[in-house]
Structure 1
Amino acid sequence: MKIIVLGATGLVGRAVTEALEPRHDVLRVSRTTAAKADLDDPASLDALFAEAADAVVCCAANVPLKPLAELTDTQVLDDLRGKLLGQVALARRAAGRLTDGGSITLTGGTFDEPIPGSGLGALVNSGLEGFVRSAAAELPRGLRINVVSPGWISETLAAMGRDGGTPVAVVAEAYRALVEGDATGTTVRPR
């Protein structure tokens, strides 16, 4: 399969491309790679599908932890536009351009337990999960859509001097399984 991985230079994106490359033709995309795209730039998303692709994986989006009292209206709109609306825009474009039976895999990130500063992220990620669940019922031509909600990544926590989380290799395997499998409308929380 030809697979587009958006956010390929980040921790999760690198692991996902490494998991997919032994069996597939992977196009690594980020704001800094030769093939560039940004979830905030619809024209760059359109350009991703100039050539035929079988799957698209988005590992590009995040919402920083920040207490609600410290958020400005602009920050709320920017985070909604980037992670939620940007991935919806990517999915809309992919739905019209992927080959029959293609796969769209997005990235959520809801944590098991509420943590301070995660309110906006919970809103964005819950919206994304609801979108995926509903969009799966209307995708044409056997297309599939899913979301991975990795929670804390072990390597990220280790860099912060903390223990726990899920190893990035386990998270990458969840993306690979969704791309190669037949699930649709699901949220996977790797453990």
Structure 2
Amino acid sequence: MKPGIIIAAAGRAERYRKAGGKGNKLDALLNDDSVFAQTLRHARASDLAVHVVTRPENIQIQALCSAQQVPVTLIESSGLGESIAAGVSATPHWDGWLVHLADMPFVAPAVFVEVAQALAFHLLVRPCTNAQPGHPVGFSHVWFSKLCQLTGDNGARELLRGENMHFINVSDVESQRDIDLPSQLTQQNEKNHAAS
């Protein structure tokens, strides 16, 4: 079994709402589709297995996953660490995990593939743009137990501290942008219209 992609889609999007955003930011429209739909589409186009972790109230996300036969774990997550633990626990048969954030819709399928392939030779793999570490973060199967024990909101940051990470250079800086604020939805739409 190859590594697969865990999409963490169980956050509360507090920054988005405080900035005036309405509803779930993952359902927000971005270039003719929702933020989550684009993240899911790019992940699935990698031909890797995909598993989504989301909240019970995220009905649109569940519907999208159901329509595409993507397995879902529902969780009242208190933070990213708990979401990762739930996703990894649900996929113990995978050879490794690419932990990805649902609000990062610009990562190309090729990046997922590169990270997954590098996991055959490295225990930890991560894309990098302009010396900044990005997503998805790849973990080999030796990390299974520790990933399953994660809690809190730091994700796997504590696990990674002091560990030997293999970085893959990605030239597309835009690919590593996330959607945190309503204004970022508009900016991206304007950029795409200007380019077309």
Shorter-chain TM range is 0.3 to 0.5
Which structure shows the higher strand fraction?
Answer: 2
Higher relative contact order (CA 8 A, sep 6+): 2
TM-score by length of 2: 0.34
